[in-house]
Structure 1
């Protein structure tokens, strides 16, 4: 994943079962007013999903298909790497505290193919 533009610190979000059974993700961003209302989450396997961000609520919307595609149930961690004002590189840490083996899937709105193979998170995090 490439990094262009504004790069802010990484942050971690622990997923709850309630979040993975919904379409939203409560944010921990303190600088959410710097982001566009529509953002792109990018994953190692090439999966990309456009989400909506409501700064007033500090909440991301449009995540139910991502939760389903990655079979997230709550208890996992998402590590966000802010990449400019429109993109986040996202890493999923499973219940065993290692980065998951990403499934061979892309979001149904994508025209690309998934990347093959397990890609481990680098020590940059």
Structure 2
């Protein structure tokens, strides 16, 4: 199916099951619209400099490798993840709290990151 106008973003309303899982189902319409551009591995970047590498399975429309993100940011039922498409494998991710505002991000980076990506800011690496 062809779509005449497309903004390459999507959001996921987080459920309790999502927050305790290592995977996330991506909306069908987004996958249909971007099927030629999406690669098997994505890099998700959070505003505070946190980056995580996850795997995308085109057949199942699932991202896997998300449990660290869910745990590190203590995501809960009712929060929203907003994915902003940057290019084939890069997305900016915003976390919206239950109150409708973007959460205040802790000064942490993923355990796979070797240094602080935020200039002038002290950040902690979380254990994997």
TM-score (norm 2): 0.80
Alignment partner, residue 125 of structure 2: none
Instruction: Give the equivalent residue in structure 1 for 2:54.
Output: 51
Distance apart, 1:112 and its partner CA = 2.0
Q: What's the secondary structure of 2:108's corresponding residue?
A: coil
Counterpart selection for 2:95 from 82, 86, 92? 92
The SS at the match of 1:36 is coil
Q: Does 1:79 align with 2:93?
A: no
The alignment's TM-score, normalised by the length of structure 1, stands at: 0.82
Structure 1 runs of 4+ with >4 Å offset: none
Match of 1:13 in 2: 12
Q: Which residue of structure 2 lines up, in the alignment, with residue 123 of structure 1?
A: none
Structure 2 unaligned runs (5+)? 1-5, 122-128
How many residues are aligned here?
111
Higher strand share: 2
- Deviation per residue, 1:10-56 (Å, 9 max, x gap): 21111111011010011012335221100100010000000000011
